[in-house]
Amino acid sequence: MDKAAVSGTGRNAVLSRRQIESLIAEGRTIIIVDQKVLKCDAWLPYHPGGDIAIRHMIGRDATDEVNALHSPEARRQMNAYQIGRIEGRWENFVPPIQGGKFRKYVEGAEEEPEPEQECDNEQTSSSRDSSIPSSPLFEPADQNNTRLRHRQSSKTSHRDPSVSSWSSLEEESPKPGPKMSHLDMRTQEQIELDLSKYPPLDPAVQDEIIHKYRLLNERIKKEGLYQCRYSSYFIELSRYSLLFGLCLLFLRWGWYATSAMFLGMFWHQLVFSAHDAGHMGITHDFQIDSVLGIIIADFLGGLSIGWWKRNHNVHHIVTNSPEHDPDIEHLPFFAISHRFFNSLRSTFYERTMTYDAFAKFFIRYQDFLYYPILTFGRFNLYALSWEYLLRGLGPRKGIARWHRWLEIAGQVFFWTWFGYGMLYKSIPDGWNRFVFLMISHMVTMPVHVQITLSHFAMSTADLGERESFPQKMLRTTMDVDCPEWLDFFHGGLQFQAIHHLFPRIPRHNLRQTQKLVVEFCEEVGIPYALYGFTDGNKQVIGRLGEVGRQAAILAECQRSLAAFGAEH
């Protein structure tokens, strides 16, 4: 174990890269935060953010992700798990959950040959004896892309991204079948496009971006933008009360459709406050905001905030990754990347997302089906919420263990006031009940569009482990431009890119933060994606249409091949 020089003792011991790799190979949950090496095995079952979020950070410098998602108290708590520290710059491994392979270190045994290190920066003790090839930058669910991604990410650290050399890559790629070559070409094009648009993955460039991002965070803190403006929530509360009041009034008058419309508008607005609470963006206290989230989502909306958080936390860490981000995994109805045609394995759902006959049909017409399907999105959310609560998929230990039971009480409460009190008792006949149910649920449709809008049109390409957190967030997320008076309608979701950079900033400060982020983007040369609501929708429909056309081409190729095979 003691291969590399070690200095210091106990928690201050400097661990070499090889030692850290070996610990991960032994199954340890090792992450790096602020140069500290944390071993989180014992903490995993207690973690309020779930285990998947942490597992995506194994072998990586998670400083920016951890700072973005945790309160100062939680960050202090992490020190208890420190087993050592690193010196110098850390080159990220691919975490085991994403397919990374790790070598154990066996004293006296012959080591695998030292890999070629493709890093421009001077190497330091914790990164010098790197084992990158044993943690290849590969995607197990898509073997033909393995080579592609590995070569891509290593090449990019050396060259001008606008000058690409894909011909050399093709020479060395395995000879793919007709299906794979087409899909691989699409993946290559996407990566190449991103590399030409965004700053190079050179460690010096990415380090500078990280440095400026951290300075920006300090500035945001100093300007008080992490402080919640409670007066804004007073206005929210008044709006919610008005909408619910109008729902009750029209219900009493027997105007069922109108009443249902106000109920739908009430739920549409509530989602935004549930989102704030889920991110601890209201009081910043985990328990208080969690209870607020449960009241809003479960008691008033019938949806599980725990289910939403479990999804959403992972989405914030592996944004727009087809294999890992549950927010873009919608087969058989939608595919925003041709990569889904390969029946990828979802690490979140732990199952293969089969590109079956249903998917083949729906994806071809997904641009037409986008709005109709989203109109019924809320029904699906009930199913997902109940599955989460009944199967107990949330934290079973630690500070969040009791949330499940409060959520179940919330579900009973919701179906009592809504299902029994409103639908059954207040509405006299079956037809009006049906109309009320459908209208109230369909009116919430814009929120499903708003949720998907910020990511569906953005890149799903994986640029590898060298890309910094801020660049990745800005490359995979877009904002929606709207006048300030319309902010209430978008509920903060129009500032998704800003929110992804700083998830704990209260919603009502995001417009002000946007100005600082625009400055930051200009300074570091990262394009800031901002579209009007209509243009954003056009982008999404355009992307869905494009992937749909690829699906049609693929189906045609497969048909031709089958016919060719039958003739010969």
CA distance 547 to 333: 12
Which helix (DSSP H) or strand (DSSP E) does residue 429 occupy?
none
CA angle 351, 354, 359 (to 5 degrees): 135
Amino acid at 419: G
Binding of residue 299 to ligand HEM (CB under 6 A): no
Per-residue binding letters, 105-124, with ligand HEM (x by CB under 6 A)? --------------------
Number of shown-chain residues binding ligand HEM (CB under 6 A):
26
Closest approach of Cβ 558 to ligand HEM, in Å? 40
Please count the other Cβ atoms lying within 10 Å of the Cβ belonging to residue 79: 12
User: Which SS3 state, helix, strand or coil, does residue 346 take?
Assistant: strand
Quick one: tokens of 248? 């009750």
Of the candidate residues 15, 25, 38, 263, the single one contacting ligand HEM (CB under 6 A)? 38
74 lies in the binding site for ligand HEM (CB under 6 A): yes
| Closer to ligand HEM by Cβ: residue 47 or 364 | 47
Comparing CB distances to ligand HEM, the nearer of 221 and 559 is 221
Restricted to residues 431-450, the positions that interact with ligand HEM (CB under 6 A) are: none
Q: Which is nearer to ligand HEM, 60 or 339 (CB)?
A: 60
Angle between helices 366-375 and 357-364 (to 10 degrees): 100
Is residue 303 a contact residue for ligand HEM (CB under 6 A)? no
Out of 25, 54, 274, 439, the residue judged to bind ligand HEM by CB under 6 A: 54
User: Of 64-72, 91-99, 207-215, 254-262, which segment contacts ligand HEM by CB under 6 A?
Assistant: 64-72
Q: Could you say whether residue 31 binds ligand HEM (CB under 6 A)?
A: yes
Secondary structure class of 329 (helix, strand, coil):
coil
Task: Name the DSSP class of 355.
Answer: -
Tell me which of 20, 25, 52, 53 binds ligand HEM, using CB under 6 A.
Answer: 53
- Nearer to ligand HEM among residue 188 and residue 311 (C-beta): 311
Residue 241 touches ligand HEM, criterion: CB under 6 A: no
Query: Tokens at residue 397, please?
Result: 């230990």
Tell me 301's DSSP state: T
Contact 441, 381 (CB under 8 A): no
The residue sitting closest to ligand HEM, measured at its beta carbon, is 49
Other CB atoms within 10 Å distance of the CB of residue 76: 10
Number of helical (H) and strand (E) elements in the chain, helices listed first? 23, 7
Q: How far apart are CA 299 and CA 409, in angstroms?
A: 8
Chain residues 315-334 in contact with ligand HEM, contact rule CB under 6 A: 317
Q: Is 78 in the site for ligand HEM (CB under 6 A)?
A: yes
Question: Is residue 464 close enough to count as binding ligand HEM by CB under 6 A?
Answer: no
DSSP-based three-state secondary structure for 36: strand
Give the CA distances from residue 510 to residues 37, 80, 89, in Å, rounded to whole numbers and listed in that order: 33, 33, 32
Residue 309 engages ligand HEM in binding (rule: CB under 6 A):
yes
Contact residue for ligand HEM among 14, 25, 52, 69 (CB under 6 A): 69
Burial category of 410 from C-beta neighbours within 10 Å (exposed 0-12, middle 13-18, buried 19 and up) = buried
Q: What is the DSSP letter of 125?
A: T
Interaction residues for ligand HEM, span 272-291 (CB under 6 A): 280, 286
The residue from 40, 274, 437, 457 that contacts ligand HEM (CB under 6 A) is 40
CA 380 to chain centre: 20
Select the residue interacting with ligand HEM from 7, 12, 77, 143 (CB under 6 A).
77
**Residue of 4, 11, 43, 386 interacting with ligand HEM (CB under 6 A):** 43
Residues that bind ligand HEM (CB under 6 A): 31, 38, 40, 43, 47-49, 53-54, 57, 62, 65-66, 69-71, 73-74, 77-78, 81, 280, 286, 309, 313, 317
